Structure 1
Amino acid sequence: MTRTEQEYRELWQLSHDERRSWVRGRFPEGASPQWWLAMVESAETGVSPVRELPDDQRREGLEFAVSLVELALDEGGMSPCYSAYWTVRLAALALRFRAPIDRLPEVVTPDGAARLALRRLPLSREELLAAASRRRNDLQQGEDRFYVPGEDISESLHQPSEEVRLLQEVERVLSSLVWIADHIVDEQLSRDIQIWLDLRSALEI
C-alpha cells in the first residue's frame, strides 16, 4: 500500500469534524494541490458506477467526496472554481447510477451543483466577454501563448496573467456544466446555465 493510499484510508475512517485536524497535523505547512487531487480522485473512484455497492455506501462515499472537496477549498488546496468543477463532476457521476440514490447531498444534485458553480464563477458574463476579447487581441498582436495546465513546462512558455487564469477557470467550470445541464429541474436556473454555456464560444481563443 502506498503512502497516499494509507492517508486516504485514514481520512475515510475519521468523522467529518476530525478530518481538518488530521490534515493540519499531517501537513503543518499545508497539503499540496496534488495531494488534495489524489484524495478526491480516490473518493471518486470509490463510488464509481462500475462498482457494485448498495445505495447507502454510494451515498456515504459521495458525502465523503464532497467533504474532501470543501475541505480542500477551505485549506487552500483548491480554488473556488476548481472545487466547483469537482462538485459538478461528482453530480454528473451520481447521474450515471442505474437507479437514483435517495437523500443525496443537495450539492451533488444537478440543481445544487449548478447553483454552487454559478456562485463560484469569478467573472460576470460581461467581465468574461471583455477579458476574452482582450485575450484575443493580445494573441493577434503576437503575444506569446501561455502555459496551459497539463503541458510540459518549458522556458519558452510564460505563466498566465491573473486574467488569463480566471478565463481558464471559467472555461473549466462551464465545460463541466455541460454534463448536468439537461438534468436541471429549476427552469430559471436551467435558463441561466444555458446563457453561460452559450458564452463558451467566446472562450475559444
Structure 2
Amino acid sequence: MGVDSDLHEIRGIPVGEISEWIGRRFPDETFPQWWMAIFESLEISLSPLRDVAPEWRLRDFTVGAEIVKLAVTTGGVRPSMGVYWLLRLATIARRFEPPIVDLPALIMPDGAMEWALNAMPFSRERALEESVIRKAEYLTAGDEFYAPVGKVFAVNNAEDVKFSALQDVELILSALPWVYPGVLNGNLRREVDAWLEIGRQL
C-alpha cells in the first residue's frame, strides 16, 4: 500500500477510528517518513486552487487535525514537527474567503497557536540560556565538532541525527507568524509576542 491509498482509506472512515486504523496498518511502529508523506498529501489536497466540494475540503481539514495529533501523541514525529505541519494547515484554512465553517478548533488560529505554545519543550528563559550555551559551544568547538570530510552518513540513521530541544523551539517559532494575525485571544497574542521577541535573540 502506498501513501495515496492509505489516505484514501483514512478519508473513508470516521475520524474517531483513524487511530485504530493506523494501529492495524503499522502493528509494530509507524515511521516519520510515512507521517510526513501524509501531511504533504493533505496539504496539496487542501490548496485553495483546487476545485473541491466544500464538504470534502472540510473533511480533509478534520482528518488533517486528527492525523497531526496522532502523529505527535504516538511518537511518530517530534512535537515541534507536528506543530509545524498543523500551523501549515491552519495557514491554508485562513486563505479561504468566505471562511470555511465548522473547522476543528485545532485548525482555528487560537486553537492552533495554543497547541503550538503547549508544545514548547521549555520556558522562554530556558530557551535563552540554551542559546547562550550553544553559542559558546560553537565558538570553542574543535575539529571533532564538525562532520569529517568524506564520511557518509545514513539519512535515516537516527543515531546520526542530533535535534536539540532548542531547535524544536526554533522550528515552532518559525511557523508562529503564519497564523498570528488571526489570533483573537488577547492573552494568547501577548504570549506569542513574548516568544517571538525571544526568537529574535536566539
Fold-level similarity (TM above 0.5): yes
Instruction: State the AA in 2 paired with 1:80.
Output: P
Whole-Å separation in 2 of the counterparts to 1:145 and 1:11 = 43
Instruction: State the AA in 2 paired with 1:23.
Output: I
Structure 1 gap ranges (5+): 147-151
Does the Cα contact within 8 Å between 1:181 and 1:194 map onto a contact in 2?
no
Instruction: State the AA in 2 paired with 1:29.
Output: D
Structure 2 gap ranges (5+): 155-159
Between the aligned residues of both structures, percent identity stands at 32
User: Does residue 1:123 correspond to 2:122, yes or no?
Assistant: yes
What value does the CA root-mean-square deviation take over the aligned residues? 1.9
Instruction: State the AA in 1 paired with 2:189.
Output: S
User: Does residue 1:40 correspond to 2:43, yes or no?
Assistant: no
Shift of 1:178: 1.1
Between 1 and 2, higher relative CO (CA 8 Å, sep ≥ 6) is seen in 2
- Using structure 2 for the length normalisation, give the TM-score: 0.87
Look up the SS of the partner of 1:180 in the other structure. helix
After TM superposition, where is structure 1 displaced by more than 3 Å over at least 4 residues in a row? none
CA deviations 1:89-125 (Å, max 9, x no partner) are 1111111113211121111111111111111110100
User: Does residue 1:3 correspond to 2:2, yes or no?
Assistant: yes
Structure 2 counterparts to residues 4-153 of structure 1, below 5 A: 4-143=3-142, 144=145, 153=153
Whole-Å separation in 1 of the counterparts to 2:104 and 2:6 = 24
Which residue number corresponds to residue 157 of structure 2? none
Look up the SS of the partner of 1:6 in the other structure. helix
Whole-Å separation in 1 of the counterparts to 2:48 and 2:146 = 39
Instruction: State the AA in 1 paired with 2:30.
Output: A
Instruction: State the AA in 1 paired with 2:198.
Output: L
